[in-house]
Structure 1
C-alpha cells in the first residue's frame, strides 16, 4: 500500500508539471497534495492512473475559482471552508459516491462560501500604502495591495498675508484604527518640491492639522506631512504655501499707532505744578484742606487764643495796680 501511495504521488506531480495552470487555483492554496491524493484513493482505489484521472477531475471542478481574489483578512475563514469540504468529500467517498458529482457539488458550495466573505475594499487613488485593501490572489497563492505611490501630489494653498494658513493631513482611504502618528517637515525659501533633501523637521507641529497664524512671506514654501502606521510610512502629503498681498489694514493701523506712541514717549515730559490755593479759596472750599492743613490751622488758633489771654491778663494787672 505504501508503494502504491508513492507511485500515485509521483504520477500526480507529473500531472501538475504537464498542467501548470491547474496548480494556481484556490484549491491548491488551501488543500495539500497529500489530502487530494488521499481523497482520490478513497474514491477510485490505489491504482496510479485512476488516481491521476481523479485528481485532474478534482482540479477541473474548481477551475472557475482560478482568478478568485478575497480579502486578505478572510484567509482563515476560507481555509476553514476548504477543511470542511475535505471532510465532506471523505464521507462521500466512504459512502461509495461518484467522485465527479461530489467534486462538482463541493466546488459550487465553495463558490457560495466565497461570496459570503467580506469584500475587498477598493483602491483609492492617487497615493498611499493602503494596507486594508490587501487581497489574497488564488492564482499564485500570494497577497497584493494597491500599486500606488507613497508620495501624494502637491496641493497649492494661497493665503493673504496676515491670515491663517491651515493644512489637513488627511487621506481619502481608511487608515488602521491604532498606532497612527504624524510628522511635519518644511522646505523654506518659497521652493515647491517633493525632494526630501530640502526639508527640515517641524518638531512643534503635531497631529493631523497644522496652522500658521498670521501667515507671513517667510512662511512660504512646501510643507510635508508623513502618516505612519507603527513605524511604516503610509502616505506622504505635500502642501505648497504661497503668501500674497500687502499687510492687512488692521495690521497697518496698529503699526501706525505703535509708531505714534513711540514718538510721543520721546517728547519732554510735561511738568505739573502743584496747586497752591489762597486763604479765600480754602475758606470757600473747605474740602481742599488736607489733614496737615487742619492741624496747622488749629495750632494757629491756639496760639492766637493764648496770646490774647496773656494780653488781657497783663492789661487787667496794670489797670488794677494804679487804683
Structure 2
C-alpha cells in the first residue's frame, strides 16, 4: 500500500530524531515507531483508513503545547529553505496562522506532520506564483481565498485527504482568477497610468507601467489658417517621418487663434482630475520648470489664445493631476509669425481715429444784454417788460420807505 506525503530518507531521519527528542522530553521511553500518516494513507481493502493507537490522555496537553512550538520553528525553517514559495498568491491572501491551523486539522498537532502538510499546501499553489491580477480585484480574490479556507476546514473535519483537497482548492482558485477583470494594457509613450496598476503575487506588491511623466509632441504642427468656425487647423507630420519631439510645435499667424489640447491616449480616472497651465514667455523653448509661470485664467483641458500676438510666443506646459499626484505633462511651443491681418489693420486705423477725435462745441449767437449804465444812457433800449419790472421795483421801494417812517414816528411819539 502506497503512502501519500512520504518524506525522503534525509527528511525521515531528521523527523525521526525530532520525534525521539519529543518522546524523551515528555518522559516516554518507547522508541519512535513507524511514521503515523493515517490521514495521508489510502483506504485499505475494505475502504477503511489505517489508524494507529491514540496517544495516552495524560500526554495530550503536553503534546499540544510542544507541537505548536515545533510547528512554528519548522515553519520558519521552511521559509528559509524555500524562499520562492513564500511569494505565491497563497501567501498574499492566507496567513501563516491559517495555514498551520488547516494542516493541524488534517494531520494533528505533531510538528513534522504539520511541516510536511504545509509544504504540500504551498506546492499545490506553485502554479500561481507568477500570477498578476487587476489591482481593483484584490478584494474579490481575497474573498475567494477566504471561501477556500472555509472549504478546506470543512474537508478536514470530514477526515478527507489533504493532498487531494489542496489540489482541488488550487484548481478552483485558478478558475476564480480567470473570472477576474483583466489588467488594462499599458499605452505608451508616457503617463502615470493608474488604471493599469496590477497586483503581483510573486512578492505581494503592486506595479504600474514604467513610463516617463513628460509626453512627447507628435512631430511638428502648424496652423494653416483660421477655419470658419473659429477653431484651429493643424498639420501633423505622419508617424515615422520625423522622430517625436519632447515639445509640440504650434505655428500661427498673427491675429489667428491658437489652441492647445491637453489630452493623452490612455484612460484617465473618472474623478479628481484637474488641469494646470504654465507659460515660459520671451519665445523660450524649454522644459525647465523654473522658467514657467502660472496661468490662473487657463482651466480645463483646452487653452485658447485669440488673437495671437508676438508677445504670446513661448512654451506652454499643461499638467494633468489625479487628486494631487501628477499623471502627465505636455509641452507646446507657440510661434507667432507674419504681419497682422488686413482686417485687423483697418480696424486699428479706425480705432485710432476714434480715439484722437475730439468733439467741438457749435457757435451760438447769444442775445444782447445791456447793463444799468447802458439803460440809463439809452432809455429806448428798455422793453415793456423791463419798464414793468422797473415800476414794480420802485413801488416796492416806496412802500418799504413809508413803513419805516411810520414805525419810527410811532416809536417816537409813544415815549412822550
Query: What TM-score does the superposition give when structure 1 sets the normalisation length?
Result: 0.78
Instruction: Return the offset for 1:255.
Output: 4.2
Deviation at 1:229, TM superposition (A): 2.0
Q: Closer, same or farther in 2 for the Cα pair 1:271/1:102, shift >3 Å?
A: same
Q: Displacement of 1:301 after TM fit?
A: 37
- In structure 1, the partner of 2:149 is 86
Q: How far does residue 47 in structure 1 lie from its aligned partner after superposition?
A: 2.2
Q: Give 1:294 deviation, angstroms.
A: 28
Aligned length: 323
Tell me how far 1:54 sits from its aligned partner. 1.4
Query: Measured at CA, do residues 236 and 269 of structure 1 come closer, stay the same or move farther in structure 2, by a change above 3 Å?
Result: farther
Shift in alpha-carbon separation, 1:275–1:100, aligned structure 2, 3 A = farther
Relative to structure 1, the CA distance from residue 257 to residue 89 in structure 2 (aligned partners, 3 Å threshold; closer, same or farther) is same
Among 383, 401, 407, the residue aligned to 1:308: 401
Q: Write the distance in 1 (CA, Å) between the matches of 2:303 and 2:381.
A: 63
Quote the Cα distance in structure 1 between the aligned partners of 2:146 and 2:410.
146
**Match of 1:265, SS?**
coil
Of 210-219 and 168-177, deviating more is: 168-177
Could you say which structure has the greater relative contact order, defined with CA pairs below 8 angstroms and 6 or more residues apart? 1
Residue by residue, what CA displacement relative to the aligned partner does 1:79-128 show, whole Å, maximum 9, x if unpaired? 11001001111111121212111111101100111111112222222222
Give how far 1:251 is off: 2.2
Q: 1:297 to 1:234 in 2, by over 3 A?
A: farther
1:242, CA displacement in angstroms? 1.3
CA distance in 1, matches of 2:257, 2:121: 67
3-state secondary structure, aligned to 2:299: coil
Task: Point out where structure 1 has 5 or more consecutive residues left out of the alignment.
Answer: none
User: Which stretches in structure 2 are left out of the alignment for 5+ residues?
Assistant: 1-63, 216-245
For residue 292 of structure 2, what is the aligned residue in structure 1? Answer: 199
Between stretches 273-282 and 155-164, larger displacement belongs to: 273-282
Please report how far the alpha carbon of residue 177 of structure 1 lies from its aligned counterpart in structure 2 after TM superposition. 1.9
Backbone CA RMSD of aligned residues: 9.0
Going from structure 1 to structure 2, the CA distance change for 1:146 and 1:320 (only over 3 Å counts) comes to closer
d(CA) in 1 for partners of 2:351 and 2:315?
A: 33
Q: State the alpha-carbon separation in 2 of the partners of residues 245 and 290 from structure 1.
A: 75
The structural deviation recorded for 1:176 is 2.0
Q: Once the 2 structures are TM-superposed, how far is the Cα of residue 185 of structure 1 from its aligned partner?
A: 0.7
Shift of 1:264: 9.2
- Cα 1:91–1:315 shift into 2, 3 Å: closer
Q: CA deviation at 1:202?
A: 0.9
Over 3 Å counting, the alpha-carbon distance change for 1:273 and 1:86 in structure 2 is same
Q: Taking structure 1 as reference, are residues 28 and 275 closer, same or farther at Cα in structure 2, changes over 3 Å only?
A: farther
| Distance 1:288-1:82 versus aligned 2 partners, 3 A rule | farther
Deviations 1:18-77 (A, max 9, x none): 000000000000111111111112222222222212111111111111011111111111
Instruction: Label 1:301 to 1:94 Cα distance change in 2 as closer, same or farther (>3 A).
Output: same
Structure with greater proportional helix content:
1
- Runs (4+) of structure 1 moved beyond 6 Å? 259-323
Distance 2:151 2:413 in 1: 157
Please, what TM-score do these two structures have when normalized by structure 2?
Answer: 0.61
Larger deviation: 76-85 or 299-308?
Answer: 299-308
Quote the Cα distance in structure 1 between the aligned partners of 2:190 and 2:209. 9
- How far apart are 1:179 and its partner, in Å? 2.0
- Structure 1 range deviating more: 174-183 or 140-149: 174-183
Deviation at 1:307, TM superposition (A): 44
The Cα of 1:206 is off from its aligned counterpart by 1.4
**Aligned twin of 2:188:** 125
Distance 1:314 1:177 in 2: 101
